Amino acid sequence: MSIDQHSTEPASAEVPATGTSADDPNELFVEGADWETVVDAIEDDTLTVNMGPQHPSTHGVLRLVLELDGETVLRVSPIIGYLHTGIEKNAEYRTWVQGSTFVTRMDYVAPLFNEWVYCMGVERLLDVQVPERAQAVRVILSEFNRISSHLVWVATGGMELGATTVMTNGFGAREHILDLFESQSGLRMNHAYYRPGGLAQDVTDDFVERCESLLRYLPGKIGELEDLLTHNPIFVDRTQGIGVLTGEEALAFGVTGPMLRAAGVPHDLRKAQPHSGYEQYDFAVPTETAGDSYARYLVRIAEMRESMKIIRQALDTLPGGEVMVSDKKIRWPSQQALGPDGSGNDPEYIRHIMGESMESLINHFKLVTQGFTVPAGQVYIATESPRGELGCALTSNGTNKPYRLHLRDSSFVGLQAMDHMSRGHSISDVIVVVASLDPVMGGCDR
């Protein structure tokens, strides 16, 4: 079926509203007709419509094939792969450290979580302990990333329902978090700041002050979003009872994260399988019981506040010391420092390898060009990303490159429930269901 969206004139005798293809009598063409004309023309047959991948409400790179009875959805088939980048396969041809620069580009709304889970997998294979300071910084920045990801979700979700003020407020608040990321990693997205063994470099002297400023700023901005949406009758009517997924259904589909917790299941890997010191922080796991799109909104708003609690505690107990393992055969990149021209190698380190120790220069050269080797083995490790369980399966055959890398991305798993959640709803409700899933197709396609 094709619809001429440029025609504004009503159908006339000269330009029939409908017709059949000479090649396929079951194929119907529609030109310049309204929806009732289309429905009358197909009589009792169902209608198959492509939504996307260009449609803005399908996040640009997701195609949905809808089977409709009038405006009622009978079936939804998600078609993925439009953003496939071959990250997993590419990483198998790069060193272990270079892998961090690849995986950060998967879920580009929450890049730090991709780096985190990958680095934890490498560190598990290496059997090394990351310094406590690096673990605490990872927690702080990742929880800020969770907040920024949820802000993108509420901003884009509001925009897709016509609430442009929500969009501008959400993205405006997120910019301040990206300022923090840029000050520490040099980039606002795709940071490659988490490296196997720790961090690329230590945080800046004003890191704590920047974080404190954000903790004072964000509660008010989150409150503004709540004022705009929580009791907004249009938003409530568009989301309550839409895309319902019970706890049992969510578990059957493998759905995790806010979608699972909005269905009443209090599962969070930060509690169930704590890592990086999460066990020492006091925070709650927000849940709702309705399992609909509105419940997912409430859970994500509550999660942003819990993330701020975690950040507050991590800042209060931030240890000193190194941010990279001490093993010189793993400790790459080499010592770096912030200078007047930005980030670069520490002058003292350059003086040492260039003028004092030939062995250190050789080691530096080998680490940069060849990387380090990782003992043979397999590992699966997971963390709680803003969209749910983000897992990393790594296989090493004892060389300087991964033999196999596979990521379990929550966006990919969540789309499995799209058909079930959309059936019986109207076409406009499909947009709400997609938004409530919060899919990021970079992570889905990889």
Neighbours of 236 (CB within 10 A): 14
Neighbours of 84 (CB within 10 A): 13
Task: Give the burial string for 141-177 (b: 16+ CB within 10 Å, else e).
Answer: bbbbbbbbbbbbbbbbbbbbbebeebbebbbebbebb
At residue 117, the pLDDT reads: 94
**What does DSSP assign to residue 327?**
-
At residue 84, the pLDDT reads: 85
Residues of the chain with pLDDT > 90, as a percent, come to 46
- Name the E strands within 157-316: 194-195, 198-199
pLDDT digits (tens, 9 = 90+) for 146-188: 999 999 999 988 888 888 899 999 999 999 999 999 988 888 8
Strand-pairing partners, residue 47, are 68
pLDDT digits (tens, 9 = 90+) for 339-365: 666 666 677 777 888 888 888 888 888
| Beta strands at 194-195 and 198-199: parallel, antiparallel or unpaired | antiparallel
Q: How confident is the model at residue 61 (pLDDT cuts 50, 70, 90)?
A: confident
Residue 2, pLDDT > 80, answer: no
Question: For the chain, which domains are there?
Answer: 18-79 (no CATH), 87-325+374-445 (1.10.645.10), 336-369 (no CATH)
Contact 345, 360 (CB under 8 A): no
- The two three-digit tokens of residue 263, written as one number: 């269905």
